[in-house]
Amino acid sequence: MAPLAALLPLLLLSNAAALAKPLEYHSFVATPLSPHPYTSPAATADEDAFAGSLAAAEDGASSAVHFPVVHRDAFEVNTTPGELLRHRLRRDKRRAARISRQATAGGYPAANGTRAPAGGGVAAPVVSGLAQGSGEYFTKIGVGTPATPALMVLDTGSDVVWLQCAPCRRCYDQSGPVFDPRRSTSYGAVDCAAPLCRRLDSGGCDLRRRACMYQVAYGDGSVTAGDFATETLTFQGGARVARVALGCGHDNEGLFVAAAGLLGLGRGSLSFPTQISRRYGRSFSYCLVDRTSSSSSSNQASSSRSSTVTFGPGAVGPGASASFTPMVRNPRMETFYYVQLVGISVGGARVPGVVESDLRLDPSTGRGGVIVDSGTSVTRLARPAYAALRDAFRGAAAGLRLSPGGFSLFDTCYDLGGRKVVKVPTVSMHFAGGAEASLPPENYLIPVDSRGTFCFAFAGTDGGVSIIGNIQQQGFRVVFDGDGQRVGFAPKGC
C-alpha cells in the first residue's frame, strides 16, 4: 500500500491540472503605427458643411444636423505617429499627476452624422483627440445665435464649460473661427451678484461693468480667463439648449491644441450635464472612437458605428446592453466619477494580487478609489494592483517575445514585428454590483512605433487614486447615469 499512498498526491495534482480551466485568448491583429494613419477631407470643406448644417437647424428644429468629424491631417503637417504618441503620453502624465495631487490633498483646488437617439436627448459625434495632438476626445457643437461651430474637448474631470472668445488678449491657435459674443443675439453677461457667479470656485467681478469673471487653471500650466456668461448651444439634429452658463475666455494659453474650448462633464453644479438636467435628466453617455481612427475612414463609414456623446433618456443607445456599477461619492472631490473596481481577470482567471482593499476609496480622507476619466489616456492602478496585473499578463503571454526596455511610462512591451495575427490573453475588469468590462485586445496592447513594438497599456501609480483611462474605454458606450447614481459599460456601443 505504501507505493499507492505515495502516488496519491501526484494523482490528485494530475487530476487538478486536467480539470483546471485553460486560459482564454483573443486573436489580435498586430497593426503597427503607420506613417499615414488618417484620411480626411479638407478642413475648410468640413467647416463650411458644419456651418451649413447648423443654419438648417436654426430654420427648423426637425432638420437633420450632420456634424463632420475632423482629425489632425486637416491641421497639422510633418508630425509622425510616433511623435503624436509621445506628445500624448507626456500630456497624459501631466494630467494624471494633477489628479493625483488633488487626491493626495484630499480635495479639488479652487463626421458622419448620426440620428438623434430614439429615447430623446441630444447627440453629437466624437473625434479622437490623438488626431488633434492631445489625449482627449472632441465633439463639435454650435455656440450662439447664429451658431458658430466649435470643437470642444470632452472632460469628465472638469465642471466649467468654456471656449475662446473674441476679442482675444491672448489666444492659442484653434480649429475654425473664434466665437465672437458681439455677433450673437443669445449671449448674456452674468451679473456679479447673480447666484451663477457665486457658484464659481475662482470667480471675480469687473466692477466697472458689473460683469462676473471666471478663471480656470490646469495642472500643466494651461489657463483660461474671461467673462462668465450664458449662451445657447446647438447639437445634433437641431436640438438647442438655451442659457448654458459658460466661460467666454479672452485670455487663454497652454496645451489646448486645436480645440476651441472645453465641455465640462463632471458632477459639479456648473457642469453641462447638471445644467441641462431639468430638461434632459442627469444621464449622458459617450462611445469613444479608436484613438487612431475617424468616422471618415472606411472602417467607420457606417453611421451606426459613429462615435457620439448623448445626453438625455437616449444615453443608452438602442439595443445596447450595459452592465452597471454604483457610483461612489467622494465628498472631497465632487467632480469625478468614482466606481469600485473589485478585481481584474487575465486569461479568464482572476488575478489574486488585484485586491479590493488597494483600490477602495477612503471617504474620510478622500484618498484612494478609482475614477472613470475621459481626459486620461492610460489606465493607472495602485502600484500593488498594477504589479500583480502586469506579472499575470506577462505569464499568460509567455509565447510573445518581450521587447527589451520599455516605452515612456510602459514597462511591458512586445516585439511583434513581422507577425500579423497573434494570440493574446484576455483582460476583464470587474466592478461592484457584478458589472464587467471585457476589453478587446486593442484596448490594452497598443502600437508605439512602425517596427511592430506593442506595449501593455496600463501603468502603476503611487498617487492615491486609480484612473480608468480612455484607451481602455474605447469601443464601449460608457453611461453616466446621474439620476440612478451608476456607471455602465456597453460593449461594442459605437
What is the DSSP code string of 4-24?
Answer: HHHHHHHHHHHHHHHHSPPPP
- SS3 (DSSP) at 163: strand
Residue 279 in grid coordinates: 430638461
Exposed / middle / buried, residue 451 (Cβ in 10 Å: 0-12, 13-18, 19+): middle
**Alpha carbon distance, N-terminus to C-terminus of the chain:** 64
Cα–Cα distance between 439 and 476 in angstroms, integer? 9
Q: Which residues contact 30 (CB under 8 A, 6 or more apart)?
A: 416, 419, 420, 421, 422, 447, 452, 454
Q: Which of 46, 373, 449, 481 is catalytic?
A: 373
Is 155 considered catalytic here? yes
Instruction: State CA 77 to chain mean position distance.
Output: 25
Segment (H or E) for 88: helix 81-105
Asked if 151 and 50 count as a contact pair (C-beta separation under 8 A), the reply is no
Asked if 167 and 120 count as a contact pair (C-beta separation under 8 A), the reply is no
Residue 430 in grid coordinates: 470587474
Q: Which of 155, 159, 227, 290 is catalytic?
A: 155
Cα–Cα distance between 297 and 494 in angstroms, integer? 15
Q: What angle do CA 408, 409, 412 make, to 5 degrees?
A: 95
Is 415 considered catalytic here? no
What is the DSSP code string of 264-307?
Answer: E-SSSTTSHHHHTHHHH-SEEEEEPPPTT--TTSGGG-SGGG--
Residue 456 in grid coordinates: 501593455
Residue 407 in grid coordinates: 516605452
DSSP code of residue 196? H
Which residue type occupies 446?
I
Looking at the annotation, which residues are catalytic? 155, 373
